[in-house]
A and B are shown apart, each in its own frame.
Chain A
Amino acid sequence: MTPQELVIRMLPPFGGWLALAALTLPDASPLRAAAVAVFLAAGPGAAVVRIGGPALRSRPAESPVDRRDPDFARHSDLLERLMLVVFLSVGVVLIAATVLIAGHAFSGQRVLLALTVLTTLAAFCPPLRASPPPRTRKGSAP
């Protein structure tokens, strides 16, 4: 594992623990708000996308026929990953908060702690590998 991979893997849980530590700051402090907001908006999604990324990208996405830049598809994929990081984070936050409130076990700290623990566990999961490409018969088009 390269240092860069290690940073990408550990950044989401670090963000979660940092947000938890920020709760010791005074109420409504900008630093506290920023740490919490950044983790809730990107942390859980980044952890999920790191695990599922290779498998999710195993097949090319739809792209326009008029693309002229060879990097166009790559940049669209980057955009897609960014969207998934944010939207999966938002989705997971909505679901976690709903589960806790439906179970009468709601508190802000519990929501943050649950997401931080899940993100930390996710950091120890290896990325899902892409399924091998389908076998093609000799002479057939790939």
Chain B
Amino acid sequence: MRPPATSRERSEPEPVPGQQTPGRQETQSGAEPEAAGLPARKAPDRSSQESHGHTEEAVTDLSDLSDLSDLPAWPPRVGRAAWPAAPLPAALALWGYAVTHTDVSELDDFGLVSALHPTFWLGLAVLVAGFWFTVRDPRRSHSWSLAYVLGLLVMERATQAVVYPTPLYAWAWKHDAVVDHLLTSGGLQTSRELGDLAVYDQWPGFFAAQAALVRLVGVDSAAMYMAWWPLVSSLMLLLPLLLIYRTFTADRRLIWTAVWIFYVANWVGQDYFSPQSVAFALHLGVLAVVLRRYGPTGTGAGGQRSALWTLVITVMVVAIVISHQLTPGMLAVSLAALCLTRRYRDWTPLITTVVIFLAWCLTAALPFLSAALPDMIRSVGDIGGNLSTGYEATPTGTGAVATSWVARLLSGSVLLLAVFGVLRQRVLRHRALPLVLLAAAPLPMFAASSYGDEMIFRVLMFMLPGACFFAAAALLPRVCTLAADAAAREGRPQTVPQGLRFGTWVPLLALVAGTLAFVPSYSGKDRMSYFPPREVDLVREVFDRAPKGSLVVAADRNYPLAYASYWNVDHYWFLEDTRGHVDQILENPAATLARDMSVVEPPGRAYFLLTQGQFADSEMNGLLSGAELRRIERSVAASPLFERVAGNGAGVVYVLKGASR
């Protein structure tokens, strides 16, 4: 299935506020553990610990750690103990005010960025600052960090659902059409009935489940709730992400900052109503299980491992395999990468994934794969080609270019931070080596396929869970070995905790910049993605009146309901044709289009549809200018071969008089 072309494209009880943990007491008093009445811990053998990352002894004494010792010591005052409660509601209040005062009726080339009320940006900055100072405060429980991350998700992923009256993205509307097809047909169909779109019937998992949900909830279509899917699918990622990070560190700051950076860097926009949104969450679920349960700790005598865990990951892998083409491949390379370490050299998850994937590809998905195989083989090894097509079209116009660069800058910065984190955090690099491998594992996929011009975005998304852990580590104090830390404590008195300093403000500024940059990266092309209600109504009118066997001709597929009734109505998007043919249309629009549309057999009719979504897509991707599209429209309007049958402020519909008389 072809991906979207646009750029969218928890709990450790902490001390009660006001109380001090032994570790904090020690830190604040500057006394040695023994002097503070705490058991002194003999420094373990360093060489032994460093050679067996996960055989290092677990620390149960706060005096063993330096992880929190760099934190500012704050006196336990009531006001400060309660302060995390203030920025979060303030940020949400600012967000609430912003979304109720945002007008999306006239979007420009900066999409939602220029339409948002200024208080949105202020709210986002307050939220980041609140999160950063909360997550650094050792008295704050995981619950506060969780609350801030949920606040971020609401501001990031629910804003569009609130400000736009209709769901975004032509691709989400397409997936709604696939659900509608399954409900109409009641079964799976082949390419003989559906043509190229039969590919969805060969990976039907997500669509079948959505079809059941539509019927059970009793709504007309998935369009009734799919605007909220980015929030739902992003929430699904939270559980496996936390589990993965908690496997390698107990430092709350690192865990939650990594989660934060992940959500901010994941602007690629595969969270919309799509199979990959669920498959990605399941992919992370499988990795979380493998990282926690297939390491050396879980291995019993003779290398036995519970077959039950294999059964658990089998259910998740089957769900992935029947839903999406690319995710099983990404899962396989990730599991293979884990096998490079002795710690995770258990082949069971990898073999399970590969066997299930192959079984599906050689049975249910064989028709699609056999047809697509020649193209797939051609693209193998063509790294340049697979990379260079990352942007399907050239962003055109100040807004499109600027938002594209902000997105690239955001991704590049996070990846550079991750590299810096890996280089700087030697101890963490050793402890969390599997995350380094998981971040690098998707890279070979560049050599495998261009994946409909989207491989660069997908590879980035699958790299993020591992990369964001080290990006967060780059912003936080250096992690010491347990032995070095204990030795340092024995050798010198504790330094007096410092106040807010360079190490506080630089990471904060980085987080604020990244969080703000997410918005143009994610919503900067909303002029293309948003279809106002009148545009939806106009297209629906076409499909309501189109007899079976009709043809709908449009400039491109960027309009709502573009695939409605695709089992009955054919489509032709002339901007996807050869450049020579597009030139012919530009030279003589009405006659050329009439000739293209005359192939329709009665009782079918041929419709020409031009809407504002097509204008936005064509202009912002440098295909045809608005003037050229308007010239085509004027030619059709003036031609005796066409008759206008519908139109409103969002577009116009003509029918070819000659067809199906």
Contact = CB atoms under 8 A, between A and B. Distances in A.
**Residue among A83, A88, A133 with the most chain B CB within 10 A?**
A83
Nearest to A103: B187
B219 interface: yes
Given A65-B53, A65-B54, A94-B209, A84 B312 contact: yes
**Residue among A40, A63, A107 with the most chain B CB within 10 A?**
A63
Contact of A134 (B62, B236, B302): B302
A69 B208 contact: no
A13 B53 CA distance: 44
B38 interface: no
A101 interface: yes
A107 to B, nearest CB: 7
Contact of A101 (B12, B64, B186, B288): B186
Nearest to A29: B218
Contacts of B643: none
- Place the interface of chain A in its size category: 35 or more
A60 B297 CA distance: 6
Contact of B298 (A37, A61, A93): A61
B251 interface: yes
A54 B295 CA distance: 19
Given A56-B312, A71-B12, A94-B206, A86 B236 contact: yes
Contact of A83 (B53, B54, B239): B239
B58 A32 contact: no
A64 B205 contact: no
Interface string A72-89: 100110011011101110
A47 to B, nearest CB: 13
Contacts of A104: 186-187
A79 B213 contact: no
Nearest to B11: A75
B86 interface: no
Nearest to B293: A61
Contacts of A108: 211-216
Contact of A40 (B61, B213, B239): B213
Interface string B31-55: 0000000000000000001000110
Interface string B250-288: 110000000000000000000000000010011001001
Interface in B281-323: 281-282, 285, 288-289, 291-293, 295-302, 304, 306, 308-309, 311-312, 315-316, 318-319, 322-323
Given A61-B292, A66-B482, A90-B319, A32 B306 contact: no
Nearest to A62: B295
Interface in B301-358: 301-302, 304, 306, 308-309, 311-312, 315-316, 318-319, 322-323
Contacts of A82: 239
- Place the interface of chain B in its size category: 35 or more
Nearest to A26: B218
Contact of A62 (B239, B285, B291, B364): B291
Given A79-B243, A97-B205, A62 B282 contact: no
A28 B218 contact: yes
Nearest to A80: B243
Contacts of B217: 27-28, 32-33, 36-37
A88 B482 contact: no
Contact of B208 (A71, A76, A91, A94): A94
Given A64-B246, A90-B319, A100 B208 contact: yes
A93 B60 contact: no
B216 A102 contact: no
Contacts of A97: 205, 208-209, 211-212
B288 A80 contact: yes
A58 B291 CA distance: 16
A95 interface: yes
A78 to B, nearest CB: 8
Contacts of B188: 101-102
Given A67-B250, A87-B281, 7 more contacts: A61-B297, A63-B250, A66-B251, A66-B479, A92-B319, A108-B216, A134-B300
8 contacts: A61-B297, A75-B10, A80-B288, A94-B209, A94-B319, A101-B211, A106-B211, A112-B216
Interface of A: 19, 23, 26-29, 32-33, 36-37, 40, 52, 55-56, 58-72, 75-76, 79-80, 82-84, 86-88, 90-95, 97-98, 100-102, 104, 106-109, 111-112, 128, 131, 133-134
Interface of B: 10-13, 23, 49, 53-54, 56-62, 64-65, 67, 182, 186-188, 204-206, 208-209, 211-219, 224, 236, 239-240, 242-243, 246-251, 278, 281-282, 285, 288-289, 291-293, 295-302, 304, 306, 308-309, 311-312, 315-316, 318-319, 322-323, 364, 431, 479, 482
